[in-house]
């Protein structure tokens, strides 16, 4: 029973840490901050930067990162490079961005989604369920 309890505590800690790290890697805090206030603006693509990286198979993969410029509600001009979007506008195109008044440079073109808003909670919850089931099995078998 002690082994199962120790396992449960360690597995829960791992689930929480994995959820937190995945959330940071997916830029969850920045995206949630940009979506929280509900502020949007029309941004114009002012330039495109192409980056070539190597795929896991060894072949080249091209990523295009648009630099977008928009005006905040108080008239301040802000430009930022969108790195984590599937959106690839042409130079001069307009797109909708979501931003927070406190950090407009953290804007994003990504629309709010359930998965990104709750990724940390879902991952941690699935890990908790797995930890609980595993701990029960260990307790019964031991």
- pLDDT of res. 21: 87
Q: How many CA atoms lie within 13 A of 26 on its CB side?
A: 17
Task: Please give the structure tokens belonging to residue 53.
Answer: 């990286």
Q: Give the DSSP H or E segment for 44.
A: strand 39-54
- pLDDT of res. 78: 96
Domain ranges (residues) in the chain: 2-141
Which parts of the chain have pLDDT scores under 50? none
The residue with tokens 């953290």 is 106
- pLDDT of res. 129: 92
CB of 104 within 8 A of CB of 78?
Answer: yes
- pLDDT of res. 100: 92
- pLDDT of res. 76: 94
- pLDDT of res. 116: 74
């Amino acid at each position: 029973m002690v082994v199962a309890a120790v396992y449960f505590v360690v597995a829960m800690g791992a689930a929480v840490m994995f959820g937190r790290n995945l959330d940071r890697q997916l830029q969850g805090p920045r995206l949630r901050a940009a979506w929280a206030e509900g502020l949007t603006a029309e941004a114009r693509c002012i330039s495109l930067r192409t980056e070539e990286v190597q795929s896991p198979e060894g072949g080249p993969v091209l990523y295009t990162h648009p630099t977008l410029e928009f005006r905040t509600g108080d008239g301040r001009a802000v430009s930022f490079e969108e790195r984590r979007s599937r959106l690839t506008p042409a130079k001069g195109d307009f797109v909708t961005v979501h931003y927070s008044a406190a950090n407009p440079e953290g804007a994003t073109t990504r629309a709010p989604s359930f998965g990104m808003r709750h990724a940390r909670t879902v991952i941690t919850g699935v890990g908790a369920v797995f930890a609980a089931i595993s701990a029960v099995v260990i307790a019964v078998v031991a």
